[in-house]
Amino acid sequence: MPAQTFIAASAAEAVAQIRAQLGPEAVVLNVRQLPAAGLSRLWQKPHIEVTATVPEPPPAESDQLGDLRREIAALRELVVQPARSVAPSPAREESPPDFSFEPVPDASGWRIGAVLQRLGLLPLHAQRVVERLQLLHGEAPPSPFSDELAFAREVLAQLWNAPALTPAQEARPFHVFVGPPGVGKTTALCKWLTQSVLLEGRPARVWRLDGQTANTAESLSVHGEILGVPVERAWDAATGEDGATGFVDLPGVEVRDAAALESLRQRLALWPHAQVHLTLNAAYDTQLLLAQARAWSSLPVTDLILTHLDEEPRHGKFWNLVLGTKFALRFLGAGQNVPGDFRPANPDALLASTFAGKSTDSRSFAPAGHRWQTTC
């Protein structure tokens, strides 16, 4: 369906227009502020322009055998070193793809360990998966590699950590975004804020607070103005009791800066029931991601948000955070545009982008039926 543009005086009015004309399945593609023209800008509040559409229905699911064949073909490209090219005989037709291919087993007899390492898992975590497979299905692997692959996917799904929220955290959502400088946490906050206000119709309030350094994220204040959401520059506990969903943006902190980290720890103590989201750049090297997660583990972090997924083709490496840290993955984000791509993390989505050979597409990790699209 072609995109439609809605002009409204507030986010609430835009939501009402979109739902009335396009229904609850509408997708918000872009939001921008329209300044008042001429002298009217002296007394008229700027309007907002929201572009929205209704997504096409997803294509019918293909049969499992076809999906499995495509997965095997993708794994074959990852595991097998291409043979030295030889010009085919002119009289010989190309043979169909060999879907019966099976990777070479390692010392355990299982083949999936080497495949997982090629997909981005560290040897330690790949071995952990193999050991669990042996515990569940016996020392010897199943004969067809397709079964081994299916068993490995089941094990990875079982090892997934879901965010564990306390009743107090669920009763009144209050989100605090922390992380190293430059990882995109303010952009992640803006994406979540837009999703909450424009699609869910929830009232919200934002605090852009300073830390050991000044919070220079002026874009957050501008985005709050577009959405009609107040962005406070100083914390006032009284304003946090109005029932709105709270979002707190804090300056990035280098974990090697002990003073800044301690200051952040004291600041977080003000919000004992907050959901604290550690935001990391998914394009960073695996060892650096793990080191950053470990360095932040002493703080009351609730879960992880990964950004820049459009810059990282191997989504298999994110399983190292699932298997190697105490944190659960909460959201996966791609691109700098707001609302842009910002989707809940779940094992099925990450398994699909890990194994299906689609990880170069930033939309491939999206859960089926999700209503957000990339504006990049």
Residue 266: φ, ψ to 5°: -65, -40
Buried b (16+ CB within 10 A) or exposed e, 242-279: eebbbbbbbbbbebeeeebbebbeebbeebeebbbbbb
183 and 131 within one domain = no
Residue 253 phi, psi dihedral angles, 5° rounding? -130, 130
Would you say residue 321 lies in a domain? yes
Count of residues making up the chain:
376
Q: Establish if 96 belongs to a structural domain.
A: no
pLDDT over 60 at 129, yes or no: yes
- 261 and 145 in a common domain: no
Question: How many of the other CB atoms lie within 10 Å of CB of 181?
Answer: 10
| Whole-angstrom distance, CA of residue 214 vs CA of residue 77 | 49
Q: Taking the model in full, what pTM does it have?
A: 0.72
Whether cis (ω within 30° of 0) applies to the bond prior to 339 is: yes
CB 320 within 8 A of CB 327: no
Return the ∠ at Cα 244 (arms to 243 and 248), rounded to 5°.
Answer: 125
The answer to whether residues 304 and 328 touch, using CB atoms and an 8 Å cutoff, is yes
DSSP 101-150: --PPP-TTS-SHHHHHHHTT--HHHHHHHHHHHHHHH-SSPPSSHHHHHH
- Segment 156-203, tens digit of pLDDT: 999 998 888 888 888 888 999 999 999 999 999 999 999 899 888 889
Instruction: Give the pLDDT confidence of 290-334 residue by residue, as tens digits.
Output: 999 999 998 999 999 999 998 988 889 999 999 999 899 999 998
Inside any domain, residue 164: no
Q: What pLDDT band is residue 128 in, cutting at 50, 70 and 90?
A: very high
Same domain membership, residue 321 and residue 215: yes
The candidate with the shortest Cα–Cα distance to 253, out of 307, 187, 183, is 183
Percentage of the chain beyond pLDDT 70 is 76
In a domain, 302, yes or no: yes
165: left (phi over 0), alpha (psi -120 to 50) or beta: beta
Do the domain assignments include residue 88? no
Of 317 and 237, the structure prediction assigns the larger pLDDT to 317
State the pLDDT at residue 269: 93
Q: 65 lies in a domain?
A: no
Q: Convert the pLDDT of each residue in 13-66 to its tens digit.
A: 777 888 788 877 677 777 777 766 655 555 566 777 888 787 766 554 445 445
Residues 142 and 289 in one domain: no
Same domain assignment for residues 224 and 328: yes
Examine the domain organization and report whether 241 and 318 are in the same domain: yes
Domain CATH for 342: 3.40.50.300
Residues 126 and 226 in one domain: no
Question: Does some domain include residue 360?
Answer: no
pLDDT tier at 74 (50, 70, 90 boundaries)? low
Domain end, chosen from 113, 136, 159, is at 159
pLDDT at position 233 is: 92
Domain co-membership, 257 together with 234: yes
Q: What is the pLDDT of residue 89?
A: 35
Residue 47 belongs to what domain range?
4-53
Bridge partner residues of 341 (DSSP): 334
On whether both 153 and 286 belong to a single domain, the answer is no
Quote the tokens at residue 134.
């042996």
Are 35 and 154 contained in the same domain? Answer: no
Same domain assignment for residues 296 and 269:
yes
Domain membership of residue 59 (yes or no) is no
Same domain as 199, residue 122: no
| Domain count within the chain | 3
**pLDDT bucket at 99, cuts 50 / 70 / 90:** very low
